Amino acid sequence: MSRWPAIDELAADVKSGKIKAVELVKQSLKAISDNQEFDAIISTLEGRALDRAAQIDKQPAGRLAGVPFIAKDNFLTLGGKTTAASNILRPFEAPYQATAIEKLEAEGAICVAKANLDAFAHGSSTENSDWFVTKNPHDKTRVPGGSSGGSAAAVILDMAPFALGTDTGGSIRLPASFVGAVGVKPTYGRVSRSGVVAMASSTDVIGPLTKTATDAALVLDVMSGRDELDSTTIEKAEASYTDLDFDWSGKKIGVIKEYMQEGLDAGVKAVIEGSIEKLKSAGAAVEEVSLPSLPLALAVYYIVCPAEVSSNLSRYDGQRYGYSAKDAKNLDESYELSREEGFGAEAKRRIMIGTYVLSSGYYDAYYKKAQTVRTKIINEFSEAFSKFDFLVGPISPTPAFKIGEKTADPLKMYLNDIMTVAANMSGNPAISVPAGLAGNLPVGLQIIAPMASDHQMLAAAKAFEDLG
Amino acid sequence: MSSSEYIPTIGIECHVQLKTKTKLFSAVGNDARQAQPNSLISHIDVGLPGALPVLNEKALELATRAAFALNTKPQKFSKFDRKHYFYPDLPKGYQITQYEDPIIIGGYVEIEAGGETKQIQVTRVHLEEDAGKNIHPADADYSLVDLNRAGTPLLEIVSEPDISSAAEAKAYARELYLLMKYSEVSDVDLYHGNMRFDVNISVSKEVGKLGKRSEIKNLNSFRSVENAVNYEIDRQTEWLEKGQMVDQETRGWDEAKQKTTSQRGKEEAHDYRYMPEPDIPPLELSEEFISKVKSEMPSLPPEVRKMLNKLSISSNVVEDILGMPPEIVNKIIGVIKTVGDENARRLAFWALETGELDVTRDVKLSKMIDRGELNVSAAKIIRQQMATSDETPQQIAKRLNLAQVSDEAAIEKIVDEVLIQNQKAAEDTKNGELKAIGFLVGQVMAKSKGQANPEIAQRLIKQRLGL
């Protein structure tokens, strides 16, 4: 397998005519076909990708000219199916594309394939995919993390220079950490959600998975900004994210106490402590900081998220598109059977929890209370960032676990998200940067930044990479 | 039956379709009246995966206007919620509406019924999207869904149960209609369901104690509101007189049979699982926006009514005038302000006759009458001509030779002829018979082909007869 050069170099070579976009797409398709055993990819967009590449070769232009990429299969794309790895969307062909895809295409990037995920992004391992389980490129008996597990594995398997993921409770950062990729969860609203199958609308964000922070900065730069089609998007203050000049000296770093306590795998702990030492040597002022409500973030997440999931999945009713039960005798049966047969166990579990917490009489006790705690978490972050430039900690208590290890116990699976959900609840940007190995398994360092400081965070991540 | 002992308590919920070019959350045309089924839809209206609602700002402006029309202000902070249920005409599985924090809280509508004015308080008004339409073809084993109307912006105006008779219910419905029309919030096309009334009604013998209510859904005319309320008061009263309980239920109005019918039997306890709509940030209206909309508010029915009442027209006619398109009524108001009451009054009646006004020429025409240059019947002929001609009233009068003759010498000649030919009437006139002088004036008018100034003719007749 051949490695990809930096994305800006690749685009420059396509523009100068040194390499052809068609060749890059073919290289990408070959890597996909050579690595089928990892089950990272649901479908390729070969026809459309080669057509676009041929077009681009005629007149190469754009910051991502001819650069192939892979989108998680919950991004709506033309030229193939968009299934969100779910049975209920198995036949669905999107008539429009996600804004993020449109923006990347406008700069010359080419979407070559759709990556596996936990169906509807519900999960932390891709084991909830209605298709297949993606294998960790470092150890085929282990999960790549999830839900953007296919995207993360694809990047490490060099199927494309970058891939797109979505992060609702850690779904970009966790797989990035498990496979050793850079995974960016931008500030909420940084990238338009239009055309991305919604999971939990108030925490869903879109971000890149790459090999380096520099590549991630370029991709995020292209995708970010206000979008008329998504009212929750925010204005981008900086002209560009690609200037990553940064110096750790004098920077104030808070190590999140609640993430470094018992339960943390010794290998992971060693990698994170080693990273902290590197930051200190680089001149950063490191201190422990406590955000006492963080341990509640997971409980809050598993109320707010299923509530929104149960609502967002209502539209999959078998009446207009997607899977529709053939044997239904009347409307009610059509609803029941289409949803019973179309949704997997995890989607059903979340629909049930969400329906319960939104029911009259329970709303105040669950949803309202969860939102109150959510506000508390936001306030604690904001207070911490009045003292610190960044907060750091692990992404997950353990490195990649064995396939099947946690599938029998949903609660155990949910605990994987314990260190990532808080940033989704608060909206802060966070990133997973490869920090070392626990045994032979990658471990990511989580850097959480103040609201809207995506650029600073990427610069810090690049500077961390440079510390070696 | 002792129905007079029963006191009805009535509240009305009214859905008003907003006059926006596009839907509430998508950039698709809003006027489905002439459209083919499912031709006015986007990925947002169909509820495709990944589709997000984008609020139509015009709807906020119209809701703000509605607030002023209802004698209140919009809430500076409001937000949208999702209301969940499964139905084929509801593509997302939820309706986007306002549950916890509606755009308007409070306000009132002043009505007149039975010679008394009364304020009907408004509980709340919220913005929401309409659903699509299910069509059930006869003899088919399937139904069809038309989503053209899905996403159409609606205001739901909820009144307090302040209404206590069918006449008041009708007056409230009509006044809301006028308010929404004059504030330009809605096209108020009742035939196409631009305003739909749901009437909640109960009767009880004890003041302050409410009976079980029924809700009559989807009434779309003032008359049906009135008739349905009357029917329901009688039905519930009769029921209670028999010692039976009224079911709390939803009923429909059968226009052909003029009766309400049970629709769902016992009301189901729906759990709509309301939750805040995460795809639309909360609405915050600035003071600047609110005062800008206020400064653009047109005259509203209460003010227009006051102006028209100055013209000494009966209140029935005033209401008829108010029922005309506001453009025309505003022209009349303009004439009151700039020309004067007498001319405005004349124009108001002309507008009622023909349904239109051409202010510049009609004012000229009216002033010609004031100056004695035309009589009323000649003016009518000139107005008919104006409809198809660009000429000024003066030009038409000249062309048709309709100018009133006020030249005394000319009229004198005719008067002399008439007196000679009608000696009996002349005698009677001398003897003080009022009818006779009217006859003589009529003869003069006839001989002059309607052009003689009747006042001058009468004066000259009296002069000649030495009266």
Cis before A147? omega within 30: yes
Give, as one character, the DSSP assignment of residue A192: -
Does B53 contact A231 at a Cβ distance shorter than 8 Å? yes
Q: Does B83 touch chain A (CB under 8 A)?
A: no
Q: Where do the structural domains in chain B lie, given as residue ranges? A: 3-284, 307-396, 408-464
Q: Does B46 touch chain A (CB under 8 A)?
A: yes
| Active-site residue, A236 included | no
A441 has a pLDDT exceeding 60: yes
Q: Does B42 touch chain A (CB under 8 A)?
A: no
How many A-B residue pairs are in contact by the CB < 8 A criterion?
Answer: 92
In sequence order, what are the residues at sequence separation of 6 or more whose Cβ sits closer than 8 angstroms to the Cβ of residue A421? A169, A170, A297, A298, A300, A301
Concatenated DSSP letters of A398-443? SSPPBTTSSTT-HHHHHGGGTTTHHHHHH---EEEEEEEEETTEEE
Does B49 contact A331 at a Cβ distance shorter than 8 Å? no
Report the 10 Å Cβ neighbour count for B465: 15
Does A315 contact B47 at a Cβ distance shorter than 8 Å? yes
A223 has a pLDDT exceeding 90: yes
Out of A194, A314, A360, the one facing B92 most closely (by C-beta) is: A314
Asked if residues A117 and A130 have their Cβ atoms less than 8 Å apart, the reply is: no
What distances in angstroms separate CA A384 from CA A203, A252, A391, A395, A432, one per listed residue?
21, 11, 8, 19, 20
In sequence order, what are the residues at sequence separation of 6 or more whose Cβ sits closer than 8 angstroms to the Cβ of residue B314? none
Does A360 contact B271 at a Cβ distance shorter than 8 Å? yes
Q: Which residues of B212-224 are buried (b: 16+ CB within 10 A; e: fewer)?
A: ebbbbbebbbbeb
A chain contacts of residue B50, beta-carbon cutoff 8 Å: 76, 94, 98, 193-198
In sequence order, what are the residues at sequence separation of 6 or more whose Cβ sits closer than 8 angstroms to the Cβ of residue B259? B231, B253
Q: Where do the structural domains in chain A lie, given as residue ranges? A: 1-290+391-468
Q: Does B381 touch chain A (CB under 8 A)?
A: no
Give, as one character, the DSSP assignment of residue B121: E
In sequence order, what are the residues at sequence separation of 6 or more whose Cβ sits closer than 8 angstroms to the Cβ of residue B202? B8, B9, B210, B211, B212, B213, B214, B236, B246
Does B49 contact A92 at a Cβ distance shorter than 8 Å? yes
Return the beta strands (E) in B164-301 as ranges. Answer: 195-204, 214-219, 249-254, 259-266, 275-276, 283-284
Q: Does B271 touch chain A (CB under 8 A)?
A: yes
Out of B50, B55, B91, the one facing A195 most closely (by C-beta) is: B50
Asked if residues A79 and A46 have their Cβ atoms less than 8 Å apart, the reply is: no
Does A198 contact B93 at a Cβ distance shorter than 8 Å? no
Asked if residues B151 and B28 have their Cβ atoms less than 8 Å apart, the reply is: yes
pLDDT of B269 reads 65
Q: Please, which pLDDT band fits residue A2 given cuts at 50, 70 and 90?
A: low
pLDDT of A442 reads 98
**What is the rounded CA–CA span in Å between residue A59 and residue B363?**
69
| Average pLDDT value for chain A | 97
Does B54 contact A229 at a Cβ distance shorter than 8 Å? yes
pLDDT of A44 reads 98
Tokens 């110096």 locate to: A247
Asked if residues A25 and A50 have their Cβ atoms less than 8 Å apart, the reply is: yes
Options A15, A28, A72, A453, the catalytic residue: A72
A7 has a pLDDT exceeding 80: yes
Report the 10 Å Cβ neighbour count for B22: 20
B158 strand-pairing partners: B13, B124
- Which one, of A147, A466, A150, lies nearest residue A282 by Cα? A466
A135 has a pLDDT exceeding 90: yes
B380 strand-pairing partners: none
Angle, nearest 10°, between helix axes B454-464 and B434-447? 120
According to DSSP, the β-strands at B144-146 and B77-78 are unpaired
Asked if residues A190 and A226 have their Cβ atoms less than 8 Å apart, the reply is: no
- Which one, of A242, A236, A274, A276, lies nearest residue A256 by Cα? A276
Asked if residues A188 and A203 have their Cβ atoms less than 8 Å apart, the reply is: yes
pLDDT of B266 reads 47
ipTM passes above 0.85 = yes
Report the 10 Å Cβ neighbour count for A415: 17
A chain contacts of residue B89, beta-carbon cutoff 8 Å: none
pLDDT > 70 fraction of chain A, expressed in percent and rounded: 100
pLDDT one-digit tens code per residue, A226-265: 999 999 999 999 889 999 999 999 999 999 999 998 889 9
The domain B408-464 is placed in CATH, from the list 2.160.20.10, 3.40.50.300, 1.25.40.850, 1.10.10.410, at: 1.10.10.410
pLDDT of B4 reads 56
Flag whether the pTM goes above 0.90: yes
Tokens 């890149």 locate to: A208
- Tell me which of A89, A228, A229 to substitute to probe the interface with B (most B C-beta atoms closer than 10 Å): A229
What distances in angstroms separate CA A318 from CA A121, A322, B87, B139, B222, one per listed residue?
20, 6, 12, 24, 40
| Active-site residue, A171 included | yes
Does A232 contact B55 at a Cβ distance shorter than 8 Å? no
- Which one, of B360, B333, B367, B361, lies nearest residue B348 by Cα? B333
pLDDT of B69 reads 98
**What is the rounded CA–CA span in Å between residue A185 and residue A169?**
10
Fold assignment, A1-290+391-468: Amidase signature (AS) enzymes (3.90.1300)
Out of B51, B91, B273, the one facing A359 most closely (by C-beta) is: B273
**What is the rounded CA–CA span in Å between residue A369 and residue B245?**
41
**First-residue to last-residue Cα distance in chain B:** 68
A chain contacts of residue B82, beta-carbon cutoff 8 Å: 311
Residue of B nearest to A83 (CA): B49
pLDDT of B2 reads 45
pLDDT one-digit tens code per residue, A387-423: 999 999 999 999 999 999 999 988 888 888 999 999 9
CB neighbour class for B186 (10 Å; exposed up to 12, middle 13-18, buried from 19): buried
Out of B43, B273, B280, the one facing A358 most closely (by C-beta) is: B273
| Active-site residue, A386 included | no
pLDDT one-digit tens code per residue, A148-194: 999 999 999 999 999 999 999 999 999 999 999 999 999 999 999 99
**What is the rounded CA–CA span in Å between residue A40 and residue A149?**
7
- Which one, of A117, A314, A121, A106, lies nearest residue A227 by Cα? A106
Q: How far is B144 from chain A (nearest CA, A)?
A: 11
Options A171, A293, A310, A426, the catalytic residue: A171
| Weakly modelled stretches of chain B, pLDDT under 50 | 1-3, 266-267
pLDDT of B208 reads 77
pLDDT of A1 reads 44
Asked if residues A126 and A146 have their Cβ atoms less than 8 Å apart, the reply is: yes
pLDDT of A405 reads 95
Mean pLDDT of A193-197: 98
